[in-house]
Amino acid sequence: MSLWAAALVVIVTLLGGGVASAPAPKVKVGRTIGATGFHLPTYVAMDRGLFKLEGLDAEFVNMTAGELVRATIAKEIDFAPVPGGSSEAMLKGAPLVFVVGESLVSQWTLTTAADIQKVEDLRGTTLGFGRPGSADYSEFIVVLSKFFKMEAGKDYKVITFRGEPERIAAILSGSIQGAGLSFPHAARAEAEGLKVLLRTGDYLPRLGGTISAHRDNVRDRRDAMKRFIRAIARAADYIRTEKAGTLEVIQKHFQLQDRVAENFYNQIRDKFAPQIPKDLFRQLFDSVATPELGWPPGKPLPDIEQFVARDLLHEVLREMGKPVN
């Protein structure tokens, strides 16, 4: 038995009586169509029983990124791991706040057909991204515009896809010449002969998969929120220390072969944390408050700390003996 498994047995033993004596709070956790590496802690928390360990009755709800944000605003789901779309919605007055982090690096790649040599070769081509409001759409629109002077609709066309596997198939068929793919899907695409042309994290350091909730739920369901944060924090620890178990989750959700799955794991094993560092949090909002995404030129950002339940997050982290920054 691994140290992690032994620790879970101890925790279950200590908490079991209390958890069993009351109905488990039900929570609906957003999951994008087509798994993404940014959300690996939620997959681990679900598949390895960490939500259950915290006394939560959790279920995934599969939607596009934009749909997840709208569903969280409407209180149809409880948690949306969509930082780009959520932060844009917050700036427009949506009653959402971020509650816990996942990835500390961007995991988006612009993956292309093998004959594309440089980004400028994509002028006049068609690229596949998620829908407007999704994290990859926002990142690529900004990176291509800011760093390569290429405007969507003018220098290249965009076709939107619900899932990443469909984007790979479209490149292989020649329907599009490149697509936004997260690390695990890019690893699979490379195994099929495609090329990773750029990584957005080289241009836009940012948080990935940071999870938001409705302000009312943070206020009225504080205990469930704390349990959820603890589960995500435990999942980040699990990913870092439990390779075999994490690989099983990766292979299940991404359908990756052993070598490709291990390559992906080695890239991201220590890239997850529940903290929401203030510098990266600021960069998240800076990246969406751009004219390319409709933010008025020259308009300053409001106080962005209003958009994070930092007191709640820090309370949980201190209780777990973890650093808050």
pLDDT in tens, 137-154: 888 998 999 899 999 999
List C-alpha distances in Å: 215 to 221, 287, 309, 311, 312. 10, 23, 9, 13, 12
What does the mean pLDDT of the chain come to?
90
Residue 59's beta-bridge partner residues? 28
Q: Which domain holds residue 27?
A: 22-105+206-319
Both 86 and 198 in one domain: the answer is no
> Which residue is associated with the tokens 């992906």?
264
Q: Give the domain CATH number at 39.
A: 3.40.190.10
Query: Could you read off the pLDDT of 20-36 as tens digits, one per residue?
Result: 456 889 999 999 987 88
pLDDT bracket for residue 19 (50, 70, 90): very low
Tens digit of each residue's pLDDT (9 = 90 or more) over 82-133:
998 899 999 999 999 999 999 988 788 999 999 999 999 999 999 999 887 6
Confidence of residue 18 (pLDDT cuts 50, 70, 90): very low
DSSP E strand boundaries for 149-284: 157-160, 178-182, 195-199, 211-214
Looking at the fold, whether 99 and 210 belong to one and the same domain comes out as yes
> Which of 138, 170, 202 is at the close of a domain?
202
Kindly state the tokens that stand for 35: 């798994």
Confirm if 268 and 103 have CB atoms less than 8 A apart.
yes
Same domain, 218 and 92: yes
Dihedral (CA of 274, 276, 279, 280) sign = positive
Could you give the number of structural domains in the chain?
Answer: 2
Q: Is residue 2 part of a domain?
A: no
The pTM of the full predicted model, rounded to 2 decimals, is: 0.76
Of 202, 228, 258, at which residue does a domain stop?
Answer: 202
